[in-house]
Amino acid sequence: MRADMRRLKQILVNLLSNAVKFTPEGGQIGLTVTGDAERQVITFGVWDTGIGIAPEDLPRLFKPFVQVDSSLSRQHEGTGLGLALVTRLTDLHGGSLTVESEPGQGSSFMVSLPWQDSWGSTEKPEPVEALSEISGLRRMTVKPRAERPLILLAEDNEANIQLMVDYLTDEGYRIVVARNGEEAVDRARDECPALILMDVQMPNIDGLEATRRLRADPQHASTPIIAVTALAMPEDRARCLAAGANDYLSKPISLKKLARTIADYLEPTQAQGG
């Protein structure tokens, strides 16, 4: 088959992560891969015996940043962002995504991608069209690792983590990840990052409280903190800034805008240091 390896991995990691998150202890999850030569389709199926999805919620699953539980600190990560990303990446590969689910019984997601015969020994496959629209990835010569600025990414959605880590690593940054607000505070104190990307909706303590705690610590009183959140109302921006964030970016986020914003805060520091 013809595919972008990194993005295909994103599709599967996101679906498997959701299966794990929404399946209670003692349940089961699975991955099946089947090829249908007659229909020229390869299907990846991810299934679980978890909490399932109510029929009225199914149409909302694939809308970006629409989550069943919209509280700031929630037990389960919402599926809106990840499944919207899966849908877009599947579309860009010329495939389709379907779901079957029953509350209390589990869910099954099926990603069907085109089967393609060998290109031959001399023909080189072209990159999947328009994937740069999602990732914006570009190759560049980067500084030695020790010289690259360290960014702390506080985020609990695995698909979003992978997308931003891939992009920012290619932009020349080192990345450490925290998956909840409490971990973000601890890792910031241990790692001393040059900049922090802070999601607002996270388990344990949310990003606003994590930001307040960091601002109360003299070590991070002036560390740039950029709130990256699906909360997109004007009052949400005001709340982030009032908590101590330097800047605010709403999801769905432009990775190029994210990189520009980071550079705005780090380049003056780097110039002074050089």
User: Per-residue DSSP letters for the chain?
Assistant: ----HHHHHHHHHHHHHHHHHTS-TT--EEEEEEEETTTTEEEEEEEE-SS---GGGGGGTTSTT--S--SSS-SS--SHHHHHHHHHHHHHTT-EEEEEEETTTEEEEEEEEE------SSPPPPPPTTHHHHH---------GGGSPEEEEE---HHHHHHHHHHHHHTT-EEEEESSHHHHHHHHHHH--SEEEE-SS-SSS-HHHHHHHHHTSGGGSSS-EEEEES--SHHHHHHHHHHT-SEEEESSPPHHHHHHHHHHHHHHHHHHH-
**Amino acid of residue 61:** L
pLDDT of res. 162: 79
Residue 274: predicted pLDDT = 43
Residues 96, 56, single domain; the answer is: yes
Structure tokens at 138: 């570009």
Neighbours of 78 (CB within 10 A): 21
Tell me the CATH number at 89: 3.30.565.10
Do 101 and 141 sit in the same domain of this protein? no
Query: 110 and 67 in one domain?
Result: yes
pTM exceeding the 0.85 threshold for the entire prediction: no
pLDDT at 63: 60
Range of the domain at 200: 135-273
Question: Within this chain, do residues 208 and 88 fall inside the same structural domain, yes or no?
Answer: no
CB neighbours of 190 closer than 8 A, spacing ≥ 6? none
The predicted pLDDT at position 170 comes to: 81
Tell whether 226 and 140 lie within a shared domain. yes
Q: Could you report the average pLDDT of every consecutive run of 10 residues in the chain (274 residues)?
A: 84 88 90 88 93 76 51 42 76 85 89 73 44 42 62 87 83 92 94 94 89 94 90 79 91 82 78 43
Examine the domain organization and report whether 145 and 107 are in the same domain: no
Alpha carbon distance 99, 53 (integer Å): 10
Residue 263 lies in a domain: yes
